[in-house]
Amino acid sequence: MSETPMRRPGIKRQGTTRLDEVDDVTAHDVPRHEPTGTDGRVPTDPAPNPHATEAEVKAAYADPKLANVLYHDWEAETYDEKWSISYDDRCVDYAVGRFHYAAGVPAKPYGRALELGSGTGFFLLNLMQGGIVEKGSVTDLSPGMVKAALRNAENLGLDVDGRVGDAERIPYPDDTFDLVVGHAVLHHIPDVEAAMREVLRVLKPGGRFVFAGDPTRIGDYYARRLGRATWWLTTRITRLPALAAWRRPQQELDESSRAAALEAVVDLHTFVPSELEQTARAAGAVRVHARTEEFAAALFGWPVRTFEAAVPQGKLGFGWAMFAYRTWQRLSWLDQRLAGLLPRDVFYNVLITGRKAARSDRA
């Protein structure tokens, strides 16, 4: 799963929109592994399942969509903290920066945008705050994530509706959106080409898509090995009596291990940038281009994030947060210089953009 920038304390931008002013998500009376939202509105409580049982985890091994629902419902209430997601200037700048890096600076804001596999709304809500998007919609396979995204939108005073839905069957009509975005979502989708066809279906003619934060094949190889080594080392060193205060309770470690077991099921793909471009073109997209980023930053970020997850919450403090964030910033600066020197396949994150053909292109 892709990372967002290292955390830095900031002031959250607040809003006053009521939740009843925002479209909710349809989840009741629907099988949990086949969520839908075709009528556009959803009950206030989409019935997320925050704690999957061992039996559910076992069943999910044979059903990646069920695994995605269970895992992301499980993570929904703590996801922003885990991945250092916020809605202050730090993450606004990050989201807008990713958009500009992939697609350039738009001449004017996009009128209506959809975030596919929205999670808690990180990418879309921060793009809205950054002036890229005026009105937003979120959709995710996980009811818990859609609920969290709508709550975040309400707190920020943003005009957002949401629906539980499958990326391979997006629950919105044809030609609805000026822009479709996603962050760290493509690697969760079983049939990426089918999802791309759906993205193009719901885009207006000439509309753009931007996906960021998905792992490259080479980047995933080194990042996951660094993460596993850090987890193994930290959980064993903290068994020493002198470091007992740094050890998380065993129950929390066991739950993290169960979550990690699900994460191994929901992370379905890694990408070669040129092959991802071919997939988008095969779906019918035009003006497709992929870029990559984060090499040194990923080599640092994955062990740091894993270490943070392996010790008690709040143990590391403000000084650690500033160290991690500033180091990540410096390494990101270095990565920008390395981009012209190293093959794009060795960087951790891939970003891709393209358009739905305009009517004039089809004539």
Query: Would you state the structure tokens that stand for residue 269, as one six-digit string?
Result: 């793909």
Cα–Cα distance measured from residue 282 to residue 295, given in angstroms and rounded to the nearest whole number: 29
319 domain-assigned: no
Nearest to 95 by CA among 25, 178, 5: 5
119 domain-assigned: yes
The percentage of the chain sitting over the pLDDT mark of 70, rounded to a whole number, equals 83
Q: What's the average model confidence in pLDDT over 316-328?
A: 93
49 domain-assigned: yes
Which residues fall within 8 angstroms of residue 84, CB to CB, at 6 or more apart? 3, 4, 5, 6, 7
Nearest to 251 by CA among 259, 243, 240: 259
Q: What's the average model confidence in pLDDT over 82-107?
A: 92
pLDDT over threshold 70, residue 39: no
Residue 128 DSSP SS3? helix
pLDDT over threshold 90, residue 20: no
24 domain-assigned: yes
Cα–Cα distance measured from residue 164 to residue 72, given in angstroms and rounded to the nearest whole number: 12
pLDDT over threshold 50, residue 151: yes
If pLDDT is split at 50, 70 and 90, which confidence band does 67 have? confident
Residue 48: predicted pLDDT: 55
Q: What's the average model confidence in pLDDT over 17-42?
A: 35
What are the start-end ranges of the H helices in 89-162? Answer: 89-103, 122-129, 143-156
Cα–Cα distance measured from residue 85 to residue 213, given in angstroms and rounded to the nearest whole number: 13
Residue 24: predicted pLDDT: 40
pLDDT over threshold 80, residue 53: no
CA atoms within 13 A on the CB side of 104: 7
* pLDDT tens profile 183-221: 999 999 999 999 999 999 999 999 999 999 999 999 999
- pTM equals 0.84
Residue 81: predicted pLDDT: 78
Q: What's the average model confidence in pLDDT over 269-298?
A: 99
Residue 75: predicted pLDDT: 80
The percentage of the chain sitting over the pLDDT mark of 90, rounded to a whole number, equals 68
Residue 11: predicted pLDDT: 30
247 domain-assigned: no
If pLDDT is split at 50, 70 and 90, which confidence band does 309 have? confident
Per DSSP bridges, beta strands 349-355 and 160-164 are unpaired
Cα 15 from chain centre: 23
More confident residue, 10 or 5: 5
Residue 132: predicted pLDDT: 98
Q: What's the average model confidence in pLDDT over 298-305?
A: 96
Q: What is the CATH number for 181?
A: 3.40.50.150
More confident residue, 70 or 177: 177
Residue 5: predicted pLDDT: 54
Q: What angle do CA 123, 129, 132 make, to 5 degrees?
A: 75
Residue 143 DSSP SS3? helix
Cα–Cα distance measured from residue 308 to residue 314, given in angstroms and rounded to the nearest whole number: 9
Q: What's the average model confidence in pLDDT over 277-289?
A: 99
Residue 52: predicted pLDDT: 64
Give me the domain span that covers residue 73: 19-217+269-295+344-362
62 domain-assigned: yes
Q: Which of 2-11, 62-71, 74-83, 209-218 has the highest mean pLDDT?
A: 209-218
Domain count, the chain: 1
Average pLDDT, the chain: 86
If pLDDT is split at 50, 70 and 90, which confidence band does 313 have? confident
CA atoms within 13 A on the CB side of 206: 5
If pLDDT is split at 50, 70 and 90, which confidence band does 262 have? confident
Residue 170: predicted pLDDT: 98
User: Alpha carbon of 337 to those of 99, 101, 295, 324: distances in Å?
Assistant: 19, 14, 11, 20
Q: Which of 58-67, 78-87, 180-189, 352-361 has the highest mean pLDDT?
A: 180-189
